[in-house]
Amino acid sequence: MEIKPLDTEQIGLKTLEKRLIKTRSDISLKIGLPKEISNDERRLSLTPGGVSILRANNHEIYIEKGAGNDAHFSDQEYADAGAEIIYSPEELYKKSELIVKVAPPTQQEQEWMQQNQVLISALHLGNMKVEFLKSLIQKGVSCIGYEFIMGDDSEFPIVRMMHEITGSMSVQIAAHYLENSSDGQGIMLGGISGIPPSTVVIIGAGIIGEYAARTALGYGAQVFVLDNDLAQLRRLENALDRRVITATANHQYLSSAIELADVVIGAAVTEGDRAPCLVTEPMVTNMKDRSVIIDTVIDQGGCIATSEPTSHSNPVFSKHGVIHYCVPNIPSNVARTATYALNNVIVPYLLAIGDAGGIRESLWSITALRNGTYVYKKHLTKKSLANLFNMPYREIEMLIASQI
């Protein structure tokens, strides 16, 4: 296959090429890739290229018919890569040992799950209900959450990839909603000769905030970033060559910055926990008429008091004269890019589970997967979730060591 220069759909796959060689283990995983049925979820976790790598390493892949359509991957592409097309979601769950999906399983999908099955998916902590956890615990499913997967380097690789997309997309979205056609102020993000640029205020200096700032600077906007972590602010200033204005996210600075803003991007998030609500409703009432709020962490509960979850089919609402965009799964709107990003992180983990000889062995030897586990052997294993829902929990290391 010829690879053209700058072919974006090949970039990233080079990191996986070494895995095309047969790996150490003869364990053959039965991996299921269901079609997402959650509202507006268009992403997949594996591309046809990822499937071919897993098949080359002796793993079986089942994919539900039409699962890749929204990301513009055809059933034929997956079949050519070695996947078996399954026509019923119930059959797919029955045949699979390991389910890999993007959105958390719905109630119907939870009913299809079986004891000792492994689930790898996102959790969407802002919308999680205690019944969701109790159902998975009762089923005896081992669950690994994208939001919790953290390696020895303290990085959250899947979260980071999605946050990079979210940060960049948030500014692109904001520019659209400032236009007259979207009932915005009718202004550009970047200024032109004799006309100053728009003001973009970003709440949070993490990965979402950084990529939002990079993109906003690229548009030519004036960018303020507020956070209570001074180390993060210093890192961002250095990374962006001090082209952003930074401040601590106290009430005084927040109020002043938001009052001046044409765009506010909510990006304050604590990994593995709900987002802190930093922007109050009175602050929003003082914003300019037809200014724009993009709350990028609404899936973690949101960091702006007036935010309410919306969807790609109905993405905005107006409150206090301010346009609010609060779609939980922003990367889903660039489903093909997001699927490649997920694939490039997830495929090595799936190979590692096979190399280790199964889920228990991989949890013992692979820090990232152990950190990512939140339900194991009918026990909740995350203290943050236990505190959130007032539930008992057991340390994952103790469960593995005791061979429960």
One-letter amino acid for residue 293 of the chain: I
- Indicate which residue of 124, 163, 295, 324 is catalytic: 124
Q: What angle do CA 86, 91, 96 make, to 5 degrees?
A: 85
Of 40, 70, 227, 299, which is the active-site residue?
299
Strand order in the sheet with 263-266: 245-247, 222-226, 199-203, 263-266, 292-295, 322-325, 316-319
Cα separation, 327 vs 309, whole angstroms: 6
> b vs e for 313-325, b when ≥16 Cβ sit within 10 Å of the residue's Cβ?
eebbeeebebbbb
Give dist(CA 89, CA 68) in Å, integer: 14
8-state DSSP, 17: G
Tell me which DSSP letter residue 105 carries. P
Q: What share of the chain is helix, strand, coil (3-state, %, to 5)?
A: 40, 15, 40
What whole-number distance in Å separates Cα of residue 30 and Cα of residue 99?
9
C-beta contacts of 246-252 below 8 A and 24+ residues apart:
246/205, 249/203, 249/278
Q: How far apart are CA 247 and CA 224, in angstroms?
A: 8
Q: Cα Rg for the chain, rounded, in angstroms?
A: 22
| Whether residue 124 lies in the annotated active site | yes
Residue 299 annotated in active site: yes
Active site residues: 124, 299
